[in-house]
Structure 1
Amino acid sequence: MTIEQRKKNISSLGQFLSQFDFTGNKKQESLPYNDPHYDRLQQQINLAVHHNGWFTKENIIFSLQQWSKALTQDNLDKWLAPYDLKKVSQKTVGIIMAGNIPLVGFHDFLSVLISGHKVLVKQSTNDKLLLPILADYLIAINPEWKEKIQFLKESSEGAEKMKDYDAVIATGSNNTARYFEFYFAGKPSIIRKNRNSVAVLTGNETSEELSLLGEDIFRYYGLGCRNVSKLYVPEGYDFDAFFKGIYSWNPIINQAKYANNYDYNKAVYLMSLFKLLENGFLILKEDESLSSPIATLFYETYSDVSQLKEELSNRREEIQCVVGNGITKNAVSFGQTQHPELWDYADNVDTLDFLINKLN
């Protein structure tokens, strides 16, 4: 396949995904190979909701919609323009995927394929139902993909072992990262660890900006590395405006797993006599850590912006996104953390540069 063929096939996948939205059935009969893949993906979406209690239909559809918007010909052209894909000598790249949010490993999967390599996928048991359908759709469009995509099989005895690969991209916790670094020491690799996102408030945010911040906090129940898990606020900050801004997210407490976490964390904090702020669906706790539990948001006060910028710089290896109005060079606008572009790389590690320049 030429790079133009690969881009055309992947943009067709984007069109296929555009059928799945919040308004119901938008099946486009004119799309090539839509049957039976449309019905199969609908079925897998419904199964995924039961397979993983955190994967609500709304969040799965949200993920599919974001990918459908990203996978356009223009976006693919812009993403790939800086790279010399003619340099690629085809290798097999293993991907060990996380399963915290729907299709969280799709960008790595896409990067390997668009660069011209073969992909060997170890899916998370928490997110194993959706990606194979997307792969099958690509294969239906162009059978040459069949030789480039392989999923490791699972059985009652456990997952099939990864073998015959040239490089690896693995995502996990800080603990599993140590295991990955040891196990894959002899191979070129990208090993991703825990990351969290933060928001910096000044007290001058509009009600609309604070409402948008709710999307950054609550989308996917806060389980993604791009979810805001901590606020930095000026000394003496009045949280009333913040609580008003996020109030539209109050139905989240009706999700049983989220509510259980809320009740548990609140009880633990109260028994420990921690000072808390809460509004019935979110707990605010002053804490220096970046990673807060589900249904909890840590916060820390600041008095000097320059010192805050220095702290954020010193902790950049722990931070995925900084949300705010120009507080850092690459700050993300309110409400945009879950809308990354194709060229927004996880952990700020250029995956395509690795696949193009480090594997030859």
Structure 2
Amino acid sequence: MSIAIPADVRERVIQAAQELYEQNGRESMPTVDAVRRHARVDMNAASAVMREWRRAQTAQAAPVAVTVPEVVTQAHSAALVALWQTAQELANESLRAAQAAWEAERAEADHDRQELADAYERQAAELEEVRAAAERSARLYQEQQDTQAQTLAAVRAELVTAATRAERAEARAQEIELRATDLRSELDHAHQEQGRIRAELAAATARAERAEAQAQEAEQRAAALRGELESAHQESERSRAETATLAGELRQSQDAVAVLRAQLSSIEASKTQEIERARQERDQLLGELNTAKTAVTQAEAASAEARERAAVLAGKLESEQSHSAALAALLARLNLIAGSEGEGVEPSA
């Protein structure tokens, strides 16, 4: 069964065989394995092409024995026998050469089989070496893979740690940003509060000025009330003096009534007219006494009213004084706040 060999493979094998044959000085044929290695082809293609190449190198041109044509026999009957003998000898030589070539080809085939066996053994040994090297490479590769896996795991762990740190840093940055926003809001609120405090301070100053004016007015009213209170005290003193006078007069009247009663008792027995007159005088004295009592009652009522009015005026005076003191304290406090606010605002300006 013939094998279809590509032309480029055939050319590479023939070129490699020719180069190796020339390198050996044309003394020995190159081996199939050497040609296969040099041409970089598979063993089957190398064996088939090398067989043809060796046959071409050892083949010799030999005439082929054919039957003498009748025309030649008739024309050269005399020389036919000698020519035929010569032709048979040549044919025999060709047969012997073919047998020798066949023997050489068989020997070459045996040699090729031996070379193939040797090449197979060498290739098996090389394959075993390659397999061992592959196993060593596989173990080394596995060790490298394990090392790389451990390194990759460590890198992944470091990456996770770095990502966690980055997330924490980002959260911290967001928190700082939020805190900065809150501080800005608080600063704006503080500025607004400062403006509001300034407005309240201005309003409080205006209220303090109004309170001061009211305090001055209250002091004026208090002075007027003090004048009225002094007048009320004087009136109360006069009422008390009048009450004392009326009380003295009442006592005098009572004494006079007692005297009159004594006189009436002494005179009652002697004169009815005098009794009647005394009764009239008594009635008159009783009327005067009632009038005096009424005057005393009115004086006491006036004195009580004067005392109540004086107490009311004193309460109003104390209230106005307390209000004036509170307004003065508020004014001092507002002045203190205004002074501290001015000290706190001037450096920022």
State the TM bucket, normalised to the shorter chain: under 0.3
Q: Which protein is richer in strand relative to its size?
A: 1
TM-score, normalization by structure 2: 0.16
Larger Rg: 2
Q: Which protein is richer in helix relative to its size?
A: 2
TM-score, normalization by structure 1: 0.16
